[in-house]
Chain A
Amino acid sequence: MTNLLRATRPRDVSVTLLGGLWHLEAHTAEDWIGAIGWDTDNLTGVMPGLLDQQQLETMLELSRQVDDIDSRWLHSGRAAVGRAGGRDWWWTVNLVTMCLQGWPYVNGLLLHKGIAASSFGFPDWIDAAYMLLWGRSDEKDRQALDLRLSLPPKNVPISGAASKKMLAAFAAD
């Protein structure tokens, strides 16, 4: 079946690392939000945190043999978040961090609209959370929100295409 949305925002996310394919065990938005929130800087809650029990044993053994495993996990964790959210990974991490900072408020408002993180898929929840923040802001705050979401963390090199996109968004603002 050809489905653009499923291709760009897959329900099941896997990453390639150390020559193997690793399946992440996250089915709902809650799984992803919790995993990202566990460690928003290094995303250890995503990778290796979301590996299933069987893969954990293999990864644990491999991690003792690979010196730079931390940075490999970080890169694959970022790739996984990008794939799961269907947007740049830093945009997704920024949005989740922002929502977690005011979780009872954001989650409460979304629940009132029938959007439960425990039953919605991650990309749908992201769309809803973004529209909630965007819809409750005035024009000036919307620009600030978009700018804040599109800023990658310090010391993170981003691709030329992504930086052009950011500059274009900034110029449009």
Chain B
Amino acid sequence: MTSDETTFSLDLAGRSILFKRAKPGQLLMLQRLLEGLRSKMDTAASDAERGNLFIRLNKHSLDMIESLVVQPDDVEFLQEQMLLGVLDVEDLRPVLSGGKTPEAVPDDAPPKKRAPRKAPRKAAVPRKKP
């Protein structure tokens, strides 16, 4: 992943995609909107309602792709992946945090060793006179 002040790149569906950084207010709105729609989907009373919310969720994800992805080819690619179901809204979460992803820890990484404890300092003892 590379990044600068105005753009950052993310690997999505096996392709490195360059994104523009959204305005903080826009990110806040997107986060609230997507979370709101997702939680409504969890408590939807009927399949029709759930389907309607799913359509709105996907629409906002597609709009976000269109407005933040720099290369038109990448827009098409991502929209296709979304429609095919290869990518979903969850995969776009790093876009909402401006490209920041939680630090990955490889499975085979050795456990961190604890730093050895320092021996307590001995109190100064006056030398015995010979």
Contacts and interface: CB of A to CB of B under 8 A. Distances in A.
Contacts of B36: 53, 56
B28 interface: yes
B104 to A, nearest CB: 28
Contacts of B67: 64
Nearest to A42: B24
A53 B32 CA distance: 8
A39 B23 CA distance: 13
B33 A70 contact: no
Contacts of A48: 25, 28-29
Contacts of B50: none
B32 A63 contact: no
A38 B28 CA distance: 10
Nearest to A64: B67
B24 A56 contact: no
Contacts of A73: 25
Interface of A: 38-39, 42, 44-45, 47-49, 51, 53, 56-57, 59-61, 63-64, 69-70, 73
Given A39-B24, A53-B36, A60-B63, 11 more contacts: A44-B24, A44-B28, A45-B28, A49-B32, A56-B32, A56-B33, A60-B29, A60-B30, A63-B23, A63-B25, A63-B26
18 contacts: A38-B28, A42-B25, A48-B29, A49-B25, A49-B28, A49-B32, A51-B29, A56-B33, A56-B36, A57-B33, A59-B29, A60-B26, A60-B30, A60-B63, A61-B63, A63-B26, A69-B23, A69-B25
